[in-house]
Structures are given as structure tokens and as C-alpha cells.
A and B are shown apart, each in its own frame.
Chain A
């Protein structure tokens, strides 16, 4: 889950890394008060999660508190990439001599975190790495051994930085690495990290992303920052249909029937499991089909949960038929899924044989499942019919095949 800049800066501050004397507010009048307190030129920054704030007019400079207020008022109303800002950050406009970059990310291949440092900051680090590779230092560090100062020193020195700047940067980079690990981050970045006229360093912007799986062990931090349990901050906000899917999935603890994503086609999908869903979604599209949704079932969900998911999909406007398909199941049961989807049709007053374009789930309890499907006249397939072929048949039935 990504943090807003004002939250990320708070995390940086708590780690003992110098930050500017900024203020966060959702109110233009308060922005003026913060600017008064700062007593100098300020930068007003929109607090949205999307990039490109500057281009979109979400970052403005103010010389006076009055100007700060009017910029704040404007920015608070400004939608950026489909998102309204959470608030504005009023930041002292620092006199920066040079902008640096410091970041930490995971390396999934080495399976260790990696510190990244560059004396060229303020722009995208990928761009620096491409254009001036000698200006980017990288160093992996152990997950088990304690982090030592020299590791930060090496990554900084590797980029040619020396003198007092080097010595002042070591604790900053080390603390960033520590906060990355301690807070279960997947990204922790200070960019730019500014060197001021007096030679001191200060974090001017920060990007942080905490791993969702680890949120449970950072409840205090999240509560301190005012992040609600319900906030997921996905790349795209959940639609009502998707939220309803989550509700179906949380109704009982047996298995999964959810992870719904909305699309605007006519073929409803009740598919699984993780890899099977990806494969099937691709297959439906490859045959010219128009999926109404993505979803996942697995882990042996109850009849009522499967029924709930199927009903949700069947009731989605524009859905003409559903295709019920999974890769060979060994834990989830064919008969239980069959009961769930048939029940959904019956309860909505549909003929399962007409509404279910195809049922292709081979595996555990298939003999029992096939008996149920036969009784209700549902077209079903066993493992001799591939995922791809099942998807093709479903698309053909709904009349959405492209030649």
C-alpha cells in the first residue's frame, strides 16, 4: 500500500532523517497559517498518489501566506489522474545547492534488499541509471546480519561523493535502509534529498510503499498516520461491483470466491484458481470474447459462497451468460461448485442449462458434479477439453466469436 507524501515524510522524520518544517492540511485557511509560521516562500503540493503532479498543476510556489492560501484552495479542488487530493502539503521552499537520490527496494532474484544512491536526484532514478550509470551506486545487504555503517558508506562513495557530504550522508542512507526493513516496505525513496547552503541534508520528498501482507504488524504506525484498515489504495479504486465481490468472499471462511475485477463485456466469468483464472481470461479474449469480469475461486469454497459469486456476476448489467471454468481441481470440489452456480441460476429464476454457457471443471468429485450438471441440462466438459477450447466454446455460444 502506497503512502501519501505527507505520510512518507512523517515516516522519514520518525527515523531521525532531517526533514523540512512542512505542514499538511485539508483546509486552505490553515495552509495560510502554516505559511505564516514558515515565514518565507513556500511550495504547495497536492497530496495524490499518482505521479506527474507538477505537470498537472498540483505543485505551486507561493511568496506570501495569501498566495499560499489561494494556491491551496485551487489545488484542493484539482483532480489529478482521476483522483481528488487527500490534502495539501505546505513546504518551506528550501535553497538547495544540489539534489541527491536515496532509495531501497527488494531484489527478488538475490532475495535481499538493495540500497540505491545517486548524487543526481530530483529526476527518475531509472533515467539516471540509463544515462549516467556511473552515478548510481547499488549495494545489497543481509537480511540476517546487522546493518553496518560501512555498507551505506560504500554505496555513496561508489558514486564519487566524498568529503563532508559523504560523512553526512552515511547515517541518512543507513537509516533509510533500516526503516525500509523495520516497516516492511517494498519501496522507500527520498527524492530529492537536498544539500543546503550550509552543507546539511534534508529530505524534500519521499515515496514509500508498505507490503500489504505485513500491515498487521504495523498497526501502530498506520493508526498514527491515520490510515484506515479499509484503505487499500489500489492502482484503481474498487467499483461497487468489486466491493460486492469482496463481501461475498468474506461471508464465510471456507475457500475463496472473489478477487473480482470489473470489465464491461457480456460473458460473465466464474473461474479459478489463481493461474487458471489468468489463463482463462486470456483465452476468452483471444477468441474474441468480451469478459464482464475477472474473478478467482479456489480453496474449496462453500456452496453458498460460490452461489453468491455466481449471482453477483449473473446480475451484472449486460451479462448474458456465464462460463464456469477452472484448471483441474484437487482441493476445490467439482460437485460443490456445480451446486453453487446452478443454485444461483435457479434463485434468480433462470434455466441453468441456458445461462451457463459451459462448465469445465475437472478433478476432485467430478463424477458427482457431472451428475448434477446432467440433471440440470448444463453443457459440461471434462479434462479432455482444454481450458482454451472451453473458453472458445463459451465465446461461440454467446455469439461473440471473431470469425
Chain B
């Protein structure tokens, strides 16, 4: 199985006529068993089509055309319009929203997340590449064109969660090369406030029988790793976790932002070394090199199943 999406998941692309969105739509349609992209929304473009996907002015029109609730939406509209687009999706019954857009002020993100919570919807991102279930479906630009995605991702027992979109693919490719496929890989976004953190996705992986271990990519900045460490300790999770921490050099450079908007050392608690210590305390192995991850997670899974 998988988390969040499967071969039956229907979704729309908001902002579908944009250059990147057109590519993303093609990629999703081509990958795995072919995503069910049931519509696209760009105001003023009703009646067009993008790679055979009908375009509507509103989400409501897309839902009416589909004659059933739509599961998800990939939002790729400019930052100033993202909040409205996400509100529109949520108020039209969409339950899973992947926000690709970068540079959205965090007040807007917080408002979107709070409305989603009220309506029982979930947000992935912003500033993320989406979700992929190897050989089945991808929702978002993750892994790129179908051919490239198929090269990096293979089905298997590992859940991948990453603050960096590109590193989601790099790590999954390394796992695949070592014979460890992925149940689902999620690019959660690099901003200071995001819809779904590690700890918020863990219960889904915990409930997924296919998943036997978790690999995460993390960076300095924020307290999401502390939240994960707490979750793992409190819930006594069945899933072993291996983490990779990039940006260790940033500990020497407080106040400087590198890589992603949320990646900045602001206090003692969000340094790389502090996070590594916290993760280790919770029994999470922190890898120094990506190529060490496959053997580490394999050993941890073996250890758990022996116990």
C-alpha cells in the first residue's frame, strides 16, 4: 500500500496553464499507471485543455464536471494568489492539497493550514515537489518526467520524508540502487511553516503495512525534528528511522539563510548539532553520508523484526 495517494486518487491542477504546470501535468499523466488528473483550473480559460485535461474557471466547475468529489489538488499559482486558490479547493471538498508555489508569506500558509484543519483536509508544502508512490502514481513534479522518475524510484518498504525536493529523489535513488524500494516518498517543503511535518506524517506510515522503515532528510532551522523525536518517543513507534542532516556548516553562521526559506539558525535549539543530538536521543540514527543510509536502515529493520 501507500500513504496519502494511490492509483484511484483523483486530482486537479490549479494554475494548470502555467509553463511548469503544463509539464507537471504531462509527467503525472505519464507516470506509473497514469494519474487521474480530472481537471485543471485557470480563471478565464474555461473550455481549453492541457494534454487532454479539461480546464475550468473554478474548482466548483471541475467538481460538477467530474460528478463526484475530487480527492486532491496540486496548486501552482503565483504566491499572491495561492491562499485564495487553496481556500477555494478546501471549500469545494478537496481533502489533499499539494502546494508547489514558493515564497508564500507564512501568515498565508498558517491561514491555509488552519482552514484545512477545520475542514478535515491536509496540506503538503508549500515549496515542495509533492508525493510519489513508485510505479503507481505521482502527484506533483517530484522525480521529474516519468522516465526520470522511474529511474530513481522503485516500490518497496521505505517511507521517505524530505524538506528538500531534489534530495527526495537523490535519497530514493540511493535506496533503490541498494535494493530498497519506497512505499511512498513525500517532499514536505522547505519553509518555516508547512502543512505536514515529519511527526504529522508518521501516523500514516505507522498504519501502512508495506512500510517497514523511514528515511528522512533534514536541515538546520525550525523545531520539526524535535517534534519528531518527541513523537517517536511518546508513541513508541514500530518504525525505525534513519535521518540525514545537511547544512552542518551553518552552525557557525547564525542568522544566515541557506538552501530554503526555513533553513536558518536562529537559536541554540535549531542548530544542526542540537538536532542531531535530539534525534539520536530518540533512537533515530543520523547518517553522515547518504550512501550509508541503505545499510543503516536495513540493519535497523532486521533488528526490530528479530526482537
Contacts and interface: CB of A to CB of B under 8 A. Distances in A.
Chains A and B directly touch (beta carbon < 8 Å): yes
A276 B249 contact: no
A349 to B, nearest CB: 32
Interface string B270-307: 00000000000000000011110000000000000000
B104 interface: yes
Interface in A185-237: 186, 211, 213-214, 216-217, 234-236
Interface string B240-257: 000010111110011111
Contact of B166 (A214, A235, A276, A285): A276
B169 A275 contact: no
B143 A330 contact: yes
Nearest to B200: A109
B260 A211 contact: no
Interface string B157-191: 00000111111011001100100000000000010
Interface in B121-166: 141-145, 148-149, 152, 162-166
A294 interface: yes
Contacts of A19: none
Nearest to B267: A126
B256 A236 contact: yes
A259 B264 CA distance: 14
B170 A328 contact: yes
Interface size class of B (residues with CB under 8 A): 35 or more
B144 A276 contact: no
A296 to B, nearest CB: 7
A278 interface: yes
B222 interface: yes
Contacts of A111: 109-110, 113-114, 193
Contact of A298 (B166, B250, B291): B166
Contacts of A214: 105, 107
B103 interface: yes
Nearest to B143: A330
Contacts of A181: 107
A283 B167 CA distance: 15
A386 B291 contact: yes
A20 interface: no
B106 interface: yes
A275 B246 contact: yes
A387 B114 contact: no
Given A213-B261, A276-B164, A330-B141, A106 B106 contact: yes
Contacts of B290: 279, 386-388
A388 B260 contact: no
A114 to B, nearest CB: 11
A250 interface: no
A98 interface: no
A317 to B, nearest CB: 22
Interface in A358-378: 363-364
Contact of A278 (B104, B114, B141, B246): B246
Contacts of B217: 275
Nearest to B170: A327
A395 interface: no
B170 A276 contact: yes
A168 B49 CA distance: 60
B263 interface: yes
A217 B177 CA distance: 47
B221 to A, nearest CB: 9
B224 interface: yes
Given A111-B113, A213-B103, A330-B169, A278 B144 contact: no
B115 interface: yes
Interface string A326-337: 111111000000
A286 B288 contact: yes
A211 B148 CA distance: 36
B79 A282 contact: no
Contacts, number: 164
B84 interface: no
Given A388-B290, A388-B291, A330 B149 contact: yes
Contact of B167 (A211, A261, A279, A389): A279
A331 B144 contact: yes
Interface string A291-333: 0001010100000000000000000000000000011111100
B197 interface: yes
Of listed B110, B141, B152, B162, residue having the most chain A CB within 10 A: B110
Contacts of B190: 274-275
B8 interface: no
B91 interface: no
A62 B222 CA distance: 42
B258 A363 contact: no
A185 B269 CA distance: 21
A184 interface: yes
Nearest to A283: B289
A14 B142 CA distance: 45
Contact of A274 (B109, B164, B250): B164
B259 interface: yes
A144 B224 contact: no
A180 to B, nearest CB: 9
B223 interface: yes
A112 interface: yes
A100 B113 CA distance: 33
A139 to B, nearest CB: 16
Contact of A106 (B193, B249, B256, B259): B193
Contact of B224 (A108, A278, A383): A108
B110 A112 contact: yes
B278 to A, nearest CB: 14
Contacts of A296: 259
B192 interface: yes
Nearest to B114: A143
18 contacts: A108-B192, A109-B224, A235-B253, A235-B255, A274-B164, A274-B166, A274-B260, A275-B167, A278-B258, A328-B152, A328-B169, A328-B173, A330-B169, A331-B141, A386-B174, A386-B291, A387-B290, A389-B291
The 8 closest A-B pairs by CB, nearest first: A330-B144, A275-B164, A235-B255, A214-B105, A275-B167, A278-B246, A278-B247, A327-B170
Given A109-B223, A331-B144, 17 more contacts: A111-B193, A112-B110, A112-B114, A113-B110, A181-B107, A184-B106, A213-B104, A216-B80, A273-B164, A275-B165, A278-B219, A282-B246, A282-B247, A283-B289, A296-B259, A298-B166, A383-B177
